[in-house]
Structure 1
Amino acid sequence: MRLPITTLPHPVPHPDPGRSRARRAAPPHARGRSARRLAVLTFRDLTDPAVFRAQLDRLRRTARPVSLAEVEAALRGGAPLPPHAVLVSFELGHRTAVTVALPELAGGLVPAVAFVVAGLVDTEQPYWWQEAEYLVGQGGRARGLSARTPGGVVAALSALPDPDRRRSLEELRVTAARQAPGAPQLTSADLLALRGAGVELGNHSLGHSRLDSCDDYALREEVQGGHHRLTRLTGAEPRAFAYPDGVFDGRAEPLLRGLGYSSAFLSDGALFDLRGAAGGHPDPLRISRLHVNAGTSRGLFDSVLSGWNPTARRLRGAVAVRVQDPAVG
């Protein structure tokens, strides 16, 4: 998703107590590497428009919003990304991407990409995990699921092979006292509104089944089926993919490459290390992302924008991308 796809001018340095606090919070070695990491921020349901507006304002003031096109060009060895580069993304196709995010993005000239579960467009079908939680609350039971709490059942379903998950979900529907209420999803008109405003649309699969739980046929349906339906709905082929649940599956790579995808995104809660491993090659199909929501503290948000990785664990899947030297400007 992008509004203009060109890089915004370098911000003029100005006093910003919040930014100063964020830099003080980051360890010295992290501050030294801040210009070599890309933050891909992923929002889901925007429950608090005021918080989202404030987060975008912080982003514009303390970081450098970049577009999907700029990230992909850097991965191909083109123009380097600026220091403190941030790509904004939305996941699951929540309607708040249109009702809340779009006016703010348009007003602030912030590029973005929205990943859409193509099979849910123009429906009121709730996400399967939300439906499962409701059905369990209505007394729904399924054989083979020992968990009884809504959260426990969803966790158990997530761990099942996809055919077993679907069968268990159907059992929950049959045994529950009430069926889950509808949940309006993005419409075809919404997708065209996003595209018309310059927001990039990405494929988030056909039905949001975890790829590592699918057999080869189901995995192909999730990837290719989502691609073809999104293409029919918008008239344009998506070139970015987000793995359902952020879980990478190597079987998807040849499918994505065959369909012409330029990038694919994980959800590993990490910044994307732009340095890469010694002798390594960029892998545009394993780009790190981290989730942001209304509960993300300002301190953590500012630290991420400054290039401080919020996780203690070592980054995985780092790729090499050229980054503009801050001294060059």
Structure 2
Amino acid sequence: MPASPAGGHQPAADRQTPAADPCRPDGRGEWLRFAPVQPLFRARAAQRLAVLAYHGVTDPRSFGAQLDRLRRLATPVSLDAVQQAVTERRPLPPRSVLVTFDDADRSVLTHALPALNDRGIPAAAFVISELIGTERPFWWHEADFLARHGGRARSLDCGHPSQLLRRLKAMPDPDRRRSLHELRVSADRRPPRQEQLTPADLLALREGGVAIGNHTQGHPCLGRCDDVTVRAEITGAHEALTRWLGEPPAAFAYPDGGHDPRAEAVLQELGYRLGFLSDHRLGPRLPHHPLQISRLQVDSTTSTRRFDTILSGLEPAYRRWRGHAVA
């Protein structure tokens, strides 16, 4: 879950709006496409691995245009291909791009999968296991809804409402859970249900070329969890996914976007081959640290012009130069 400003309630798909997942940055910069250095960045990117980190797909037409762009400018690769490159210590082809989705709401099945299949592009989806087969909203959407409908929590009584999710994310995990509980019991309305993927849907995604990975049980920010919770979040999701898929997952996406050494130790024990960050960077075609692979943050509404600057690495470099925080 990449770092983000908090704000009003939005659908649980893309995370570019203020109502986003609490760990994700926002930004613009289509004008960068015309910067004189863009060709240089594009040439450099040809020798790097671009892993695109989506959430859901709210704009299928724009998403399809992005995939068409990938087919023209890049070499889409699968999660298995990245794993094989790591195992054999053989770099991926130039201009390699892996498409991934965090949280895996239903739009990954209903919108992303058909578009990917139409173009023969593989992908990977990282799953929050405790939501599978339920109608529960993502906790950050629930918190925002509850706060806007009278919910109160002692730890959230000060500050502007737009900072709600940022403050929840910054809390130690027990405090976050306690504050969510207080919001639930004090709000005058319950949040609307959100239909989540089912175990059968996970199998359908895998059959369609979308590999399934671990995104923890409940999507906490791991850096705010104690050691026991870090282990339980990873192993609980691992066991559930192994049961549903008939085989253990081999890839993990850190829900707080940043690397956690305790989480990496658990992943190594469980035999994970790949771990993905949300640091808005390109990585080497042969990942130096397979459990710390960089990803670029993008969503389905991103224009093709801005999409090009993200894919080249120019927009991420500009953001770092301007001092925009990323997870």
Cα pair 1:206 1:226 within 8 Å, conserved: yes
Secondary structure of 2:57 counterpart? coil
5 Å matches for 1:151-230? 151-230=162-241
Residue in 2 that maps onto 1:311: 317
Residues 136 and 148 in structure 1, CA contact (< 8 A), matched pair in contact too:
no
Kept after mapping to 2: 8 A contact 1:161/1:213:
yes
TM-score, normalization: structure 1? 0.82
CA distance in 1, matches of 2:86, 2:70: 23
Q: How far apart in 2 are the matches of 1:102 and 1:129?
A: 25
Give the whole-Å Cα distance in 2 for the aligned partners of 1:150 and 1:127: 18
The higher radius of gyration belongs to 1
Q: Secondary structure at the match of 1:144?
A: helix
Per the alignment, in what secondary structure is the counterpart of residue 100 of structure 2? Answer: strand
Match of 1:290 among 284, 296, 308: 296
Larger deviation: 181-190 or 24-33? Answer: 24-33
Aligned identity (percent) is 51
CA distance in 2 between partners of 1:150 and 1:126 (Å):
20
Instruction: Structure 2: give runs of 5+ residues left out of the alignment.
Output: 1-31, 322-327
The runs of 5 or more residues in structure 1 that have no matched partner are 1-20, 277-281, 316-329
**For residues 50 and 27 of structure 1, do their structure 2 counterparts lie closer, same or farther at Cα, with a shift above 3 Å needed?**
closer
Instruction: Name which of 80, 90, 100 aligns with 1:69.
Output: 80
Which residue of 139, 143, 148 corresponds with 1:137? 148
Distance 1:133 1:235 in 2: 36
Residue identity opposite 1:242 in structure 2: A
**Contact 2:103 / 2:215 at 8 angstroms: preserved in 1?**
yes
User: What's the TM-score once normalised by structure 2's chain length?
Assistant: 0.83
Residue 12 of structure 2 corresponds to which residue in structure 1? Answer: none
How far the C-alpha of 1:308 sits from its partner, in A, is 4.3
For 2:203 and 2:178, locate their aligned partners in 1 and report how far apart those are by CA, in whole Å: 35
Residues of 2 paired with 1:31 and 1:61: CA distance?
A: 13
85-94 or 70-79, which deviates more: 70-79
Change in 2 beyond 3 A, CA 1:258/1:174: same
Q: Which residue pairs with 2:117 in the alignment? A: 106
Residues 281 and 313 in structure 2, CA contact (< 8 A), matched pair in contact too: no
Q: How many residues align?
A: 290
Seen in structure 2, the aligned counterparts of structure 1 residues 148 and 111 have a Cα distance that, compared at 3 Å, is same
Which residue, 88, 92, 96 being the options, matches 1:81? Answer: 92
Task: Confirm whether residue 90 of structure 1 aligns to residue 101 of structure 2.
Answer: yes
